Structure 1
Amino acid sequence: MHTPTEEPSLPTHVTRRRLFGAGLAAVGAALVAREPTAQPPAAQTFLADAPPPLLLPPPHPAPSPSPAEPGTPTLNRPVFTLKEYRQVVPGPAFPDNAVALTIDDGPHGGWTPQVLHILEKYHVQATFCMIGNQILGQEAVARSVVAAGHQVANHTWSHPATLAQMPADKVEQEVYRAQEKIHETTGRTPTVFRSPGGAVSPAVFAAAAKAGMIPVNWDRDPKDWTKPGTQSITSHLLAARPGDILLCHDGGGDRSQTCAALRTVIPALQSRGLQFVALGGQP
């Protein structure tokens, strides 16, 4: 998968944001789990049984978010479905026919506007999982995502494929620098975290919670970033069921197949009665 290169360091201050309400603290421990396969979900605990390990300060201070309010949950697995998301994030129940479209690896000066045009045509809201250093030079594109009514999520600073193997201080740098850049550019502070490749570790969970974010993966992946062909992407997305979180990309390479597939998939799913919802709205 595309891995953007590192850019010069940003300022080390991260603007204080409003985190989730105290209602998160009351979330039950026994929740529905789902492995990243086609198998039916099994019961599993989301909230960590014990506090995350103490994170030692890095040798070179990383950007640091405002302290998380009590009740921001530290999960021990990502969210895979809308049902799971609502179990850890208080709010109105999603419609029974809802699906969520998430768009990773942007913003991109060419592909993101095309995706936005498609979403506007069909009146669809989505969640754009932005890479911090991809915003550099594309600030106007990032702002256009928010201006169009979509949500933004944190997809790390440089999209390291080895994030789950990195030490805690490096994980914090990836998470907090992206959080800072996204907020500085769009005025939004993400409440959803998307790890590169969906890979997670105790350090990843801890950093996301400290920044006030819920790790969200997906359960419908057409692997469009591999450019498998428009028909392959289309058929995988057309298999979506109510409650699914769909994964697509607007960055990381040629996304013409993704755009072509979305032009078919979105109206087809809508004709089946499915409704698109976005994740990560701020309280």
Structure 2
Amino acid sequence: MVNIKPRDLSVRNLLIFLCFQLMIISCEKDVASLEGGDGTPAENIKIEYVVYKAGQTDNMPVSMIDLPYGETVELGINITRDNFPYTGYKSIVWGTSFPDVLEITPSDDKYRCTVKAKKSGRNSNIGVSVDTGNGIKSAACMVAVPVVPAEKVEIAVTDDIEVDENGNKSLKLDFGRDKAYQLQIAVEPDYSTDNKVEWKSSNPDVATIDKDGWITTYNKAGETVITAKHIPAVVSRFSRSGEEHEGETLMSITLTVVPTIDSDLTDGEHGGFENDGTEWKPD
């Protein structure tokens, strides 16, 4: 039989008791993290973003990054309190200000998030909120998706637009119509947002066109040439549309404005029938 001194027994029991208490505290902390948080005031914690590469990070804090269209990046967060890791949170929630620009997929433990660029030439914030059970602390990281330069820009061809053997485009519209037709721009690659143009009509008495490509025709038949001058976007970091510089007239379409049938019946000036008030009845 092992002879145990009373003092040794007391110390042993004390150690067992302390270990048991530490286990209880640890379990309570884990439960608090999952259920209600540990009650730390939210303003006492700090959140920093870091970038992971091949599953590793240098722990250098970032507040903004460039992310080319179609590519992904893995962002992580370090949560600290008094410069020590903090795990007593209730929940971690990720989000983005423009879901059409960035697609986010948080990891199971919520400490990381995979971000994919879905739209070029736009910026969007990645945000994360940590609930401690005594307030919510949030932090954001700006992600800029640079403009993808257009390799080809042209006036989009629709069923209403005719194209001859030389590639010349033409369109015929009735006169006297407000916003009678909207011309569109087609770019290649199709995911490029480098599609800004300046529209101009050579004969505004016949038809005008606004900045969005809407054509308005007036009570005058005739022809006008609609031109579109492409304004190339300069790839600029953290800018929604990028800087711009002088472009060139790259495309045009000939618009012919003709009277409508109803107008012919009421306006003899254009070679139609004058309406002299005669009532026409079927035989």
TM-score, normalised via structure 2 length: 0.19
- Largest Rg, 1 or 2: 2
Greater fraction of residues in helix: 1
Of the two structures, which has the highest relative contact order with CA contacts closer than 8 Å and spacing of 6 or more?
1
Higher strand share: 2
